[in-house]
């Protein structure tokens, strides 16, 4: 099972409007802000790998605080955008064109923090995802962290409401047509998600329905992390930014953040 192929992924994240969107995006999501505060006392001694760096959103917040920073992306346009954005602040070599499925190129214990934000891991099919987690465990130093976000399968139980706006009727109509296509493309996955540990959803990223993403049951994600060798995992809510803890079975946030060591 494959979520997407590399060619489609590069094409989607090389579109001018998509690159511009990620290049202008600066704010942290609530759990990201929480995790940044929690790690802040240790960041000055950390070597960091930012996987799926995009337009450099997380670079703004982490690069000035860590001992060493590297950002990689599968899109050359995103890498170029980062190099332009941080020209004069970070050397061009801090940003490299690399595939997150090729972490075997890094020696063991190369980094103290491996970050995979904004659900980048969900581009991987289950077998690829398992390899990624094992490789991440290998390149993270003892006492270091893997941090990533992943779509929550429980969020599929409800479809966000669309409110009609008489001031913006065309936008409302586009939203209705978008949801109609979403439901048509994902009918089988939506019908089976309640019993599944994961499903592949075409969620209409950037309105073009070009990509498919993995939605995972949190308990299954925790088990996968255990099998990959991560002994301690803290889960954070997208909606509140707080630690979920034992309430994970009832969490229906669209995605969750996992801080693993």
User: Is residue 176 domain-resident?
Assistant: no
User: Is residue 182 domain-resident?
Assistant: no
pLDDT digits (tens, 9 = 90+) for 201-214: 998 888 788 899 99
User: Is residue 201 domain-resident?
Assistant: no
**From residue 49, how far is each of 36, 96, 109, 146, 212 by CA, in Å?**
15, 11, 12, 10, 25
User: Is residue 70 domain-resident?
Assistant: yes
Mean pLDDT of all residues in the chain?
93
pLDDT digits (tens, 9 = 90+) for 23-59: 999 999 999 999 999 999 999 999 999 999 999 999 9
Question: What is the share, in percent, of the chain residues with pLDDT greater than 70?
Answer: 96
User: Is residue 164 domain-resident?
Assistant: no
User: Is residue 38 domain-resident?
Assistant: yes
User: Is residue 48 domain-resident?
Assistant: yes
- CA-to-CA distance for 118 and 115, rounded, in angstroms? 10
Query: What is the pTM (predicted TM-score) of this model?
Result: 0.94
pLDDT band at 4 (very low <50, low <70, confident <90, very high): low
DSSP string, 23-83: HH--PPPHHHHHHHHHHHHHHTT-EEEEET-TTTHHHHHHTTTSSEEEEEES-HHHHHHHH
User: Is residue 190 domain-resident?
Assistant: no
Domain count, the chain: 1
Domain extent for 71: 6-152+217-260
CATH number of the domain enclosing 251: 3.40.50.150
């Amino acid at each position: 099972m494959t979520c997407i192929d590399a060619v489609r992924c590069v094409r989607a994240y090389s579109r001018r409007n998509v690159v511009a969107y990620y290049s202008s995006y600066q704010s942290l999501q609530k759990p990201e802000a929480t995790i940044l505060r929690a790690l802040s006392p240790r960041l000055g001694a950390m070597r960091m790998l930012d996987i799926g760096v995009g337009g450099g959103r997380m670079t703004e917040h982490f690069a000035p605080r860590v001992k060493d920073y590297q950002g990689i992306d599968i899109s050359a346009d995103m890498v170029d955008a980062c190099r332009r954005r941080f020209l004069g602040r970070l050397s061009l070599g801090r940003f490299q064109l690399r595939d997150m499925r090729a972490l075997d190129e890094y020696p063991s214990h190369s980094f103290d923090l491996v970050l995979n934000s904004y659900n980048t891991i969900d581009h991987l099919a289950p077998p690829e995802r398992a390899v990624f987690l094992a490789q991440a465990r290998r390149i993270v130093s003892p006492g270091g962290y893997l941090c990533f976000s992943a779509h929550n399968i429980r969020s599929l139980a409800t479809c966000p409401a669309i409110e009609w706006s008489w001031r913006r009727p065309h936008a409302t109509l586009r939203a209705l047509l978008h949801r109609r296509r979403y439901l048509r493309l994902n009918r089988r996955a939506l019908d089976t998600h309640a019993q599944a540990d994961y499903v592949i959803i075409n969620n209409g990223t950037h309105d073009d329905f070009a990509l498919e993403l993995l939605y995972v049951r949190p308990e299954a994600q925790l088990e996968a992390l255990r099998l990959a060798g991560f002994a301690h995992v803290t889960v954070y809510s997208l909606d509140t930014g707080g630690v979920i803890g034992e309430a994970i079975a009832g969490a229906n946030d669209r995605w969750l953040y996992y801080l693993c060591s």
